[in-house]
Amino acid sequence: MENMINLTIDGVQVSAPAGSTVLEAARLANIHIPTLCYLKDVNQIGACRVCVVDVGARALQAACVYPISEGMVVKTNTPEVRSARKTVVELLLSIHDRKCLSCVRNNNCELQDLCRDLGIDDDDRFAGERNHYDVDDASVSIVRDNNKCVLCRRCVAACHTLQNVGVIGPVRRGFNSAIESPWKVQLAQTSCVGCGQCIVACPVGALKEKDSIKAVDALLASGKHVVVQPAPAVRAALGEEFGMPMGTSVTGKMVAALRRLGFAKVFDVDFGADLTILEEGTELVQRLTNGGVLPMITSCSPGWIKYCETYNPDFIPNLSSCKSPHEMLGAVIKSYYAEKAGIDPKDIAVVSVMPCTAKKGEAKRPELSVNGLADVDEVITTRELARMIRRAGIDFANLPDEDFDSVLGESTGAGVIFGATGGVMEAALRFAYEVVTGKELEQVEFHEVRGLKGVKEADIDLNGTKLSVAVAHGTANAQKLLDSVRSGEKTYQFMEVMCCPGGCVTGGGQPIVKSDVRAGVNVSAVRAKALYDEDAGKARRKSQDNEELKVLYKEYLGEPGSHKAHHLLHTTYTARDKYENIK
* Active site residues per annotation: 280, 283, 300, 320, 359, 362, 367, 504
Report the residue number, 110 or 270, with the smaller CB distance to ligand FES. Answer: 110
Q: Which of 17, 166, 262, 345 binds other proteins (CB under 8 A)?
A: 166
Residue 508 CA to residue 499 CA, distance in Å, equals 10
Identify which of residues 17 and 46 has a Cβ nearer to ligand FES in the complex: 46
Closer residue to other proteins in complex, CB, 194/355? 194
With CB under 8 A as the contact rule, which of the stretches 1-9, 116-124, 160-168, 333-341 interacts with other proteins?
A: 160-168
Assess 62 for contact with ligand FES (CB under 6 A): yes
Q: Judge contact between 534 and 406, C-beta under 8 A.
A: no
- Of the candidates 281, 413, 265, 412, the residue with the CA atom closest to the CA atom of residue 349: 265
Question: Which of these ranges, 37-45, 62-70, 164-172, 319-327, lies near other proteins under the rule CB under 8 A?
Answer: 164-172
Residues forming beta bridges with residue 265, ordered by sequence position = 227
**3-state class of 509 per DSSP?**
coil
Q: Which candidate, 96, 172, 153, 173, places its Cα nearest to that of 130?
A: 96
Q: At what angle do helices 302-311 and 475-486 cross, to 10 degrees?
A: 50
Q: How far apart are CA 422 and CA 501, in angstroms?
A: 11
Rule CB under 6 A: say whether 112 interacts with ligand SF4.
yes
CB of 22 to ligand FES, least distance (A): 10
Does residue 132 belong to the site contacting other proteins (CB under 8 A)? Answer: no
Instruction: Indicate whether 155 belongs to the interface with ligand SF4 (CB under 6 A).
Output: yes
Q: Which residues contact 217 (CB under 8 A, 6 or more apart)?
A: none
Cβ proximity to ligand SF4, 422 vs 474, nearer residue: 474
Distance between the two ends of the chain, CA-based, in angstroms?
A: 56
Residues 6+ apart with CB under 8 A from 461: 467
Shortest Cβ 35–ligand FES spacing (Å) = 4
Contacting other proteins within 168-187 (CB under 8 A): 168-173, 181-183
Closest distance to ligand SF4 from the beta carbon of 109 (Å)? 3
Binding mask 186-205 for ligand SF4 (x = CB under 6 A): ------xxxxxxx--xxxxx
Site for other proteins (CB under 8 A): which residue of 559, 579, 580, 581?
Answer: 579
C-beta of 89 vs 399, nearer to ligand FES: 89
Say how many C-beta atoms besides its own lie within 10 A of residue 221's C-beta: 10
Site for ligand FES in 11-50 (CB under 6 A): 35-38, 46-50
Residue 499 CA to residue 507 CA, distance in Å, equals 8
- Round to whole Å and give the CA distance between 341 and 326: 20
Q: What is the largest CA-CA distance in the chain?
A: 78
Three-state DSSP at 57 gives: coil
Nearest to 97 by CA among 126, 144, 132, 70: 132
Residues near ligand FES (CB under 6 A) are 35-38, 46-51, 62, 64
Residues near other proteins (CB under 8 A) are 160, 165-173, 181-183, 579, 582-583
Residues near ligand SF4 (CB under 6 A) are 96, 98-100, 103, 105-106, 109, 111-112, 142, 148-155, 158-159, 163, 165, 167-168, 179, 192-198, 201-207
